[in-house]
Amino acid sequence: MDSFCNFVKTFNIFILEDNINKAVELIKNARQITAFTGAGISVESGIPPFRGEAGLWNKYDPMVLDINYFFSNPKESWGIIREIFYDFFGNAEPNKAHFVLAEMEKNNLLESVITQNIDNLHQEAGSKTVHEFHGNSKKLICVDCRTVYKVGEISIKVLPPKCKNCNGLLKPDFIFFGEGIPQNAYIASVDAANKSDLFIVIGTTGEVMPACQIPVMAKQNGAKIIEVNPEFSKFTNSITDVFLQGKATEVMGKLSDALF
């Protein structure tokens, strides 16, 4: 059994090396590259995904992120939000995969990152053009006058936090269930899907609508798709051209070694 397991392991490493070479060729020959990231890229920074065994929804009720629930119960909703997004994950730092994407942009190998994440880690790693499909937890927005604050500017010791301008209710500047996608991010993402000839999709199940339509749109417009994920996703057997099976830091580290 042991020797069979070793055989499978060696075989998988061989496939990964071969696919890394294919990915590098695609990257070197591409005209415009976009990265599309999900919760998986931040798992090795200590932020769990929503779904799956270690997912947040096994511990918390997603109701706290429903916009109607938030407006009816801002204090209760904020209590859980503070625990998840500010106490637990507030100090998470970017990992190798975030840094490699920033390095690729600096070297003109990447046009932009479209992220479903709200953790600000792409920007903290140095990425400049980031389209935040679901907003950003490091900012708070007044639901009345729309003033935006950085998290550190406002105390969240007493909940719910209030606007310094108009005393309105402050909400994290990410989208809740029942809210629309920020228009600027949506337009920029569709534009990237229309113009890019290569998408690098990292750490996403491809189950969240309408974000999951963006790589599909790119594929329909002729883009090649490289996917990085330890598990198969909705994309793997449908739109993916080169599947790099593994953790984001490991795979992006290998890509970086081959590129730079």
What residues act catalytically? 134
Binding partner of residue 163 among Zn ion, ligand NAD, none, CB cut-off 5 to 8 Å per kind: Zn ion
What is the C-alpha separation between 37 and 95, in angstroms, rounded?
A: 13
Residues 6+ apart with CB under 8 A from 242: 19, 22, 23, 26, 224, 225, 226, 227
What is the C-alpha separation between 252 and 209, in angstroms, rounded?
A: 26
Q: In what order do the strands lie in the sheet with 135-142?
A: 148-150, 135-142, 170-174
Contact 135, 118 (CB under 8 A): yes
Q: Which residue is nearest to ligand NAD (CB)?
A: 40
Q: Write each residue from 114 to 153 as x if it is in contact with Zn ion (CB under 5 A), else as -, in one continuous string.
A: ----------------------------x-xx-x------
Binding partner of residue 119 among Zn ion, ligand NAD, none, CB cut-off 5 to 8 Å per kind: ligand NAD
Binding partner of residue 166 among Zn ion, ligand NAD, none, CB cut-off 5 to 8 Å per kind: Zn ion
Q: Quick one: 125 or 163, whose CB is closer to ligand NAD?
A: 125
Name the DSSP class of 66. Answer: B
* Minimum distance of ligand NAD from residue 40's CB (angstroms): 2
Q: What are phi and psi of 122, to 5 degrees?
A: -65, -45
Q: Quick one: 103 or 227, whose CB is closer to ligand NAD?
A: 227
Our CA angle for 21, 27, 28, nearest 5°, is 90
* Minimum distance of Zn ion from residue 212's CB (angstroms): 34
Q: Quick one: 94 or 163, whose CB is closer to ligand NAD?
A: 94
Task: Look up tokens 């020797």; give the residue.
Answer: 3
* Minimum distance of Zn ion from residue 67's CB (angstroms): 18
H helix or E strand, kind and range, residue 252: helix 248-259
* Minimum distance of ligand NAD from residue 45's CB (angstroms): 8
Binding partner of residue 61 among ligand NAD, Zn ion, none, CB cut-off 5 to 8 Å per kind: none
Q: Quick one: 47 or 64, whose CB is closer to ligand NAD?
A: 47
Q: Quick one: 56 or 163, whose CB is closer to Zn ion?
A: 163
What sign for the dihedral angle of Cα 30, 32, 38, 40?
positive
Name the DSSP class of 211. Answer: T
Angle between helix 248-259 and 2-29 (nearest 10) = 50
Note the residues at the interface with ligand NAD (CB under 6 A).
38-44, 47, 49-51, 55, 116-119, 134, 203-205, 207-208, 228-231, 233, 247-248
User: Should residue 163 be labelled a site residue for Zn ion when binding is judged by CB under 5 A?
Assistant: yes
* Minimum distance of ligand NAD from residue 126's CB (angstroms): 17
Give me the residues that bind Zn ion (CB under 5 A), please: 142, 144-145, 147, 163, 165-166, 168
